[in-house]
Amino acid sequence: MVNHFLAHDLLWGMTPQRLPADAPHWVRESLGLGQPVVVRRALAEPGQVAVGVRGQSREQRYATSMPLAAVKLRVRPEDLRHVAPRRDLPALQALSRLRPLLDASGWVWGVSGSAGFELASGIKALHERSDLDLILRTPQPLDRAQAKVLLAQLDDSACAVDMQLQTPFGAVALREWAGVSQRVLLKDDLQARLVTDPWQPSLECVA
């Protein structure tokens, strides 16, 4: 199986038996309940995909890998755009308000983080102070003027909204790209580096 999974995808099929012997008890417990794992932005051995396991608290995050052959179901962030929430929380209120705006943008967008996890799995992961995490697929450049307009729209929400722009070369925070700094942090499977153009990082000189 070819690894076509992207960061923030949710995967089902990981079991406690596939964990390293020294994995914490809470990780085994979480997987024993049948919850999904989230694809991480990291390299993995051939036939594996880098994933993370969520626990009940924010501090409980465990990095591991999963055999590609074990994947039973994949849910992408963009698959969650129109899933009806089961609870009334600020992050989900913000999602409802932003949905028409983002749908009309012409870009492919999705829900990640705690909101995405809860919408996909039905497991309660959000609380009253949770941020809303979104991604925007941007195969073509989003200029900084557009980024500023979009950020202003996101910031007029019931909670903090964090959006990542997913370029062909990695991810950059919308807030950074809309800011005043000339260089922004671009994260890919190998590293995080400062670049001036997240859509053409190969054109930049290495210091």
Domain range annotation of the chain: 10-75, 77-203
Mean residue pLDDT of the chain comes to 93
Q: Which of 102, 133, 129 is nearest to 117 (CA)?
A: 133
The confidence score (pLDDT) of residue 83 equals 96
Give yes or no for a contact between 62 and 27, defined as CB atoms under 8 angstroms apart: yes
- How far apart CA 39 and CA 173 sit, in angstroms, is 18
The confidence score (pLDDT) of residue 202 equals 78
Q: Which two tokens stand for residue 34?
A: 């049948």
Work out the average pLDDT over 117-138.
96
Work out the average pLDDT over 156-176.
96
Work out the average pLDDT over 60-86.
96
The confidence score (pLDDT) of residue 2 equals 45
Work out the average pLDDT over 45-50.
95
Q: Please give the sequence-ordered ranges of beta strands (E in DSSP) within 93-159, or none if there are none.
A: 108-112, 132-137
The confidence score (pLDDT) of residue 204 equals 65
Q: Is the model's pLDDT at 64 over the cut of 60?
A: yes
Per-residue pLDDT band for 87 (boundaries 50, 70, 90) equals: very high
Number of other residues whose CB lies within 10 A of the CB of residue 81: 18
Q: Is the model's pLDDT at 76 over the cut of 70?
A: yes
Per-residue pLDDT band for 25 (boundaries 50, 70, 90) equals: very high
Per-residue pLDDT band for 141 (boundaries 50, 70, 90) equals: very high
Q: Is the model's pLDDT at 66 over the cut of 60?
A: yes
Known catalytic residues?
A: 131, 133
Q: What percent of the chain has pLDDT over 70?
A: 96
Per-residue pLDDT band for 146 (boundaries 50, 70, 90) equals: very high
